[in-house]
Chains A and B, each alone.
Chain A
Amino acid sequence: MTSIEILYCTLGMCIVSYIPRVLPPLILSRMKIPAVVERWLKYVPTSVFGALVFCEIFTGPQGFNFSLTNINLLASLVVLAVAVRTNSLAKSIVFGLAAFWALQQVL
Chain B
Amino acid sequence: MRDMFNKAVVKAVWPIWLGYLPLGFAGGVLSQKVGLTPFEVGLMSLLVFAGSGQFIALAMMGSGSSSVSSIVVTTFIVNLRHLLYSSTLAGYLMGKSKKYLGLFAQGITDETFAMNLNQFSAPVAEWNPSRAIGLNILAHGCWIFSNVLGNVVGNIIVIDTAIVSYTLTAMFIGLWSFHFTSRLLVLTGVFAGILALVLSGVLDHKLNIVAATIVAATVGCVLEGSGRS
Contacts and interface: CB of A to CB of B under 8 A. Distances in A.
Interface of A: 1, 3, 5-14, 16-18, 20-30, 33, 36, 38-59, 64, 72, 75-76, 79-80, 83-84, 87, 89-90, 92-93, 96-97, 100-101, 104
B173 interface: yes
A25 B20 CA distance: 25
A44 B81 CA distance: 11
Contact of B197 (A26, A59, A84): A59
Contacts of B127: none
B169 A53 contact: yes
A interface secondary structure, majority: helix
Interface residues of B, number: 94
B151 interface: no
Interface stretch (B1-9, B22-30, B137-145, B205-213): B205-213
Nearest to B12: A89
Interface of B: 15, 18, 34-37, 40, 43-44, 47-50, 53-54, 57, 61, 64, 68-69, 71-73, 75-76, 79-91, 93-96, 98, 101-102, 104-106, 108, 110, 114, 117-118, 162-164, 166-167, 169-180, 185-186, 188-197, 200, 208-209, 212-213, 216-218, 220-221, 224-225
B217 A84 contact: no
Nearest to A88: B174
Contacts of B175: 49, 89
A52 B91 CA distance: 23
A105 B80 CA distance: 38
Contacts of B40: 3, 6-7, 10
Contacts of B96: 25, 29
Contact of B176 (A7, A13, A49, A90): A49
Q: Top 7 nearest A-B pairs by Cβ distance?
A: A54-B193, A50-B189, A49-B176, A43-B220, A12-B72, A51-B196, A96-B170
Given A49-B175, A55-B209, A76-B169, A40 B221 contact: yes
Given A8-B68, A22-B101, A100-B163, A54 B61 contact: no
B43 A24 contact: no
A93 B170 contact: yes
